[in-house]
Amino acid sequence: MADWVEVLDALALCEEHLARLGRDQEELPRAIEATERQVEEARARLEAEREAVAEFERTRRDQESELQDCEVRRDRYRSQTAQVKTNAEYTALLHEIDAVTQRISELEEGILVAMEEIDERSGRVTRMEAEQAGFEQDLQDRAKGLRERLDQVRNEIKEREVEREGWVGRLDSEIQVHYRRIVRVLGRGIAHINGRTCAVCYRDVPYERVNRVIAGEVHTCPSCQRLLVGERG
């Protein structure tokens, strides 16, 4: 058997690299998704502003149409004042004129408000459109870089797994069986000893076992059953 301490040290290093790469492999898709979501959210904000402008345009047109109708009605009512024959009819007609005049005032105010909103929001849309192309390009470049990094991570994982298999093949068959079983269940099969503590499960390792590992014997953590290697130098 090759020097098992050297082999287990190399396996521990491979596992650490694989653990880091595994975290990247989990986190990168979320980062890509978040970046792409920012693009969609920016587009949605721009579209919402455009729709707001269109809504105020519709409101303005509706109010202008109603205003024209009201002005026609007011003119008709005024022309009728010379034709009424009783005070009651005259009073009723004045009431109608006052009501439609009040509505005309409200519509004129509403049209001014709508026009102000249209001007303000149209300017905002123009600014957002000017910024959008560059913003989207930056985010798309970022997403592209993240996807490239994800591909790189996946390739590195394959390379590390091949490297790990090479080191595992240098272990005695009994140790190989144990190592593979622990990896299959726990993901990592090697643990360094920190003082007298397993660096992975953080449980105490008996002094006698620590000393035997330091002396070059093969032992496992009594809690997680990972193969133990001495502290890093």
- For the chain, the structural domain boundaries read 6-10+20-170, 171-233
pTM above 0.85, yes or no: no
Query: pLDDT (tens digit, 9 = 90+) per residue, 168-208?
Result: 999 889 999 999 999 999 989 999 998 889 989 999 999 99
Query: pLDDT (tens digit, 9 = 90+) per residue, 4-47?
Result: 788 888 998 999 999 999 999 999 999 999 998 998 998 999 99
Q: Return the HEC string of the chain.
A: CCCHHHHHHHHHHHHHHHHHHHHHHHHHHHHHHHHHHHHHHHHHHHHHHHHHHHHHHHHHHHHHHHHHHHHHHHHHHHHHCCCCCCHHHHHHHHHHHHHHHHHHHHHHHHHHHHHHHHHHHHHHHHHHHHHHHHHHHHHHHHHHHHHHHHHHHHHHHHHHHHHHHHHHCCCCHHHHHHHHHHHHHHCCCEEEEECCEECCCCCECCHHHHHHHHCCCCCECCCCCCEEECCCC
Predicted confidence at residue 215, as pLDDT, reads: 84
Of 1.10.287.1490, 3.40.630.30, 1.20.1440.230, 1.20.120.1200, which CATH number belongs to 6-10+20-170? 1.10.287.1490
